[in-house]
Structure 1
Amino acid sequence: MSQTQTSPLAQPLTLPCGATLKNRIAKSAMSDSLGDGAGNPTDDQIRIYERWAKGGLALSIIGEVQATPHFAEKPGNLILNDHSDQDLPKRLAKAGAIDGAQLWLQLGHAGAMADAGISTPKGPSALDLPGLTCGALTLDEVHALPAEFARTASLAKELGFGGVQVHAAHGFLLSQFLSPLFNKREDAYGGSLQNRMRLLLEVIEAVRMAVGPKYPVGIKLNATDQLEGGFAEDQSLEVIAAVDRTAIDLIDISGGTYFPGAASSSDRAGSGPYFLEFAGRARQKTKIPLMVTGGFKTLAQAESAIIDGKADLIGLARALVVDPELPSFWLTGQRSEPKFPRFKNPPDGGVTAWYTMQITQNAKGDSALSSDDLEGAIEAYKDRDDARRRIWKSRLS
């Protein structure tokens, strides 16, 4: 399966809304941390999404685009609302759509995980835990959320982005509502799983109403948040069955959470895709196309996932950081796997910092970092976030 004409990765994928992805390779959403600190795209961000588009993929998704400055995950996140500069997002949308690629915005709200340096975190319920303190959203604040997501989606469409993805994974707000660990509410949004998924379904409905029937709308959902007593696979399958009754075009299956101290899926040991077996179970619950993200390291793994019918789209993240042109090489059979760095006893968050700074190297066209650069990457990552927090607080607070 090494040639373009025979590789299952080269097949186009038509979504339920009618839009077509040119092949089966996507860049999943990451926190690229390339915003300017005031919610705007930068030239670096525009360049890296253009580079990924030219690298042969069908779809890129920009992580955590906020409706407001109040609950951002990082000070490098983008903000898209009626007060945003429109020229820079338009440039970004155009750059990411070169060579027939699509660029989608991931609609985000960090909730309890919001960066405490630039916000006052609030989640479904008040929490006071080691490393995580937050207040609870009022019922009025919860009721306002679908319209916020919908307005950002509408602007994404107006500015030329190819689609949007509702972020309900990785421990951010909509994921928090789904999890019994985060959600202790006693109103219509807490308690039973039916209640806990209510906000997510309301957001999906509002976004679809805002963008119309022919615009791609996806969702990112955890298979499990990998926390004891949290959101588990059987619950996720119930949510997928409910989402199947909505007008969603793509379900991106991932997992894990950025809950302080929790191990992320991308840092765990293992040589294969993390959530592929779960995707096989999800296939029995929905006819919506499935994107599976996490752990794909070889061409054979990616092709097998498509051939076996467990995935319709392969989501790559770190593979496209170490090898931005990887899709073009996979589609022509010229490369079987990217070369990943190996780190000895990295500190918590250190690997994420290294990959984030490598994205910046790629955007600037600079030489690649080595694994020996870990300490310097961590320091640069921290210094940049600190600088952007100062900008955020001066201009957006």
Structure 2
Amino acid sequence: MTELKDKIVLPNGSIINNRIAKSAMSENLSNKNHEPTNLLIDVYKKWAESGAGLLITGNIMIDSNAIGEPRNIVVENRDNFEQLKAWADTVKGTETKLWAQLNHPGRQAMEQINPILKAPSAVPLKMGGRKNASSKIPQELTENEILDIINRFANTSVILKDAGFSGVQIHGAHGYLVSQFLSPYTNIRKDKWGGSLENRARFVVEVYRKMREKVGKEFPIGIKLNSADFQKGGFSEEESIEVVKILSKEGIDLIEISGGTYEAPVMMGKRKESTAKREAYFMDYIEKARKVTKTPLMLTGGFRTPEGMKEAILSDQLDIIGMARPFTIYPQIAHEIFEETRLDFTVNIKKTGIKAIDAMMNIIWYEKQIKRLGQGKAPHPNLSPWSVLLNYAWLIIEYKFLKK
């Protein structure tokens, strides 16, 4: 698998040592003060030994008043700087890079965690998790609040750079705040932040520019971008291609492609028949994106066999293979790919048979596997979904009622 071992040079001159990357997953492993824990750090020590060229953290929130999940990490100041340094140091002595993913949930957050929602527009989220009808409608962000969030992205990126992370990634996919600005479904503003695609893309462009201003040209900045929202009236594939052009012109270093939101979670569902043979979910899109940009492209979603990964790289349509869930069950995954000691990295989670619960399992089952890795335990492919659900329910109760 020599093709997967090739290095890639990013636009700013940074080097990623091979073509295998761990994409971001929700770890949910902060302490009650939303600081990195030793358990989380031990997980990344494990993944640093995987042989991957790049690890991207789960979403790090930039604002303690805008948290998506009960145990998200928040970095808005240097209060937890020593723990951040320890986290960044997990890849020391390896050839693996560690990037931090920066995020703001916008309207997409649990009521128990984030009772007051702020978003580009007052468009409610059409999914469970918020019982009070009025709490489902987010408050429209003011101009000053938008500018504050832009500065927060930049502030957090500087802190993480100083802590020793190898780069940062803007989370612009899956229905969080950046993708809410991009989508005409969730952004119905009439000012300079809404309306035309140019206006809707203004937020992510200004976030990138402010981050670049603060971290300098030599520090990598990437983005995770939806190929489309897959919602009626939402962010389309054609618009996504235009945003790829815009960000490429701005000089972004890596564009990771995914798709969907938690209202329309295609990133967790079945692949199109036209792409199933090539494993990845969004191969049709990536071929179109490659025609409009020379910026390195990372594709995440669906890769499970070394042969499929090799064919994707040889196609010259993408540069980096992104995987997430397989890293929870196969923590030595890159070594196994390169040495061809395992030919399939399929993950089949156990389910309850209850649709609403099993939708949650697509996240919390893997969070439990991540926690096992941090505890020094082996992955448990047959882990009971009911035990996972009970554990997560306790986590919510603990957060809401026992938080100091």
Residue 391 (structure 1) shift: 5.7
Conserved? CA contact 1:362–1:368, under 8 Å: yes
Of 391, 395, 399, which aligns to 1:380? Answer: 391
**CA deviation map 1:4-36 (0-9, x unaligned):** xxx211001111111111101110011111111
Name the residue aligned to 2:130.
Answer: none
Aligned pairs (5 A) from 1:169-180: 169-180=173-184
Name the residue aligned to 1:284.
Answer: 291
Aligned pairs (5 A) from 1:1-397: 2=1, 7-119=2-114, 120-128=116-124, 130-131=126-127, 132-259=136-263, 262-268=264-270, 271=276, 272-344=279-351, 345=353, 347-371=358-382, 373-390=384-401, 394=404
Conserved? CA contact 2:68–2:113, under 8 Å: no
Residue 99 (structure 1) shift: 1.0
Residue 329 (structure 1) shift: 0.8
Residue 381 (structure 1) shift: 2.1
**CA distance, structure 2, for counterparts of residue 266 and residue 310 of structure 1:** 22
Aligned partner of residue 112 in structure 1, secondary structure = coil
Conserved? CA contact 1:54–1:98, under 8 Å: no
**CA deviation map 1:340-371 (0-9, x unaligned):** 22545352212321111111112212243344
**CA distance, structure 1, for counterparts of residue 311 and residue 189 of structure 2:** 42
CA RMSD of aligned residues (A): 1.7
Conserved? CA contact 1:322–1:339, under 8 Å: no
Identity of aligned residues (%): 35
**CA distance, structure 2, for counterparts of residue 237 and residue 165 of structure 1:** 19
Give the count of matched residue pairs.
Answer: 386
**CA distance, structure 2, for counterparts of residue 181 and residue 292 of structure 1:** 25
**CA distance, structure 2, for counterparts of residue 153 and residue 31 of structure 1:** 19
Tell me whether 121-130 or 231-240 shows the greater mean CA deviation: 121-130
Conserved? CA contact 1:351–1:374, under 8 Å: no
Alpha carbons of structure 1 residues 108 and 300: separation in structure 2 relative to 1, 3 Å: same
Aligned partner of residue 295 in structure 1, secondary structure = coil
TM-score, structure 2 as length reference: 0.91
Structure 1 residues without counterparts, runs of 5 or longer: none
Conserved? CA contact 1:167–1:221, under 8 Å: yes
Conserved? CA contact 1:37–1:389, under 8 Å: no
Residue 83 (structure 1) shift: 4.7
Letter in 1 for 2:229: D
**CA distance, structure 2, for counterparts of residue 310 and residue 143 of structure 1:** 36
TM-score, structure 1 as length reference: 0.93
Conserved? CA contact 2:26–2:363, under 8 Å: no
Residue 390 (structure 1) shift: 4.3
Residue 218 (structure 1) shift: 0.4
Alpha carbons of structure 1 residues 204 and 129: separation in structure 2 relative to 1, 3 Å: closer
Alpha carbons of structure 1 residues 129 and 210: separation in structure 2 relative to 1, 3 Å: closer
Residue 385 (structure 1) shift: 3.5
Conserved? CA contact 1:48–1:363, under 8 Å: yes
**CA distance, structure 2, for counterparts of residue 166 and residue 390 of structure 1:** 32
Conserved? CA contact 2:59–2:73, under 8 Å: yes
Conserved? CA contact 1:104–1:161, under 8 Å: yes
**CA distance, structure 2, for counterparts of residue 300 and residue 248 of structure 1:** 29
**CA distance, structure 2, for counterparts of residue 203 and residue 8 of structure 1:** 34
Residue 55 (structure 1) shift: 1.0
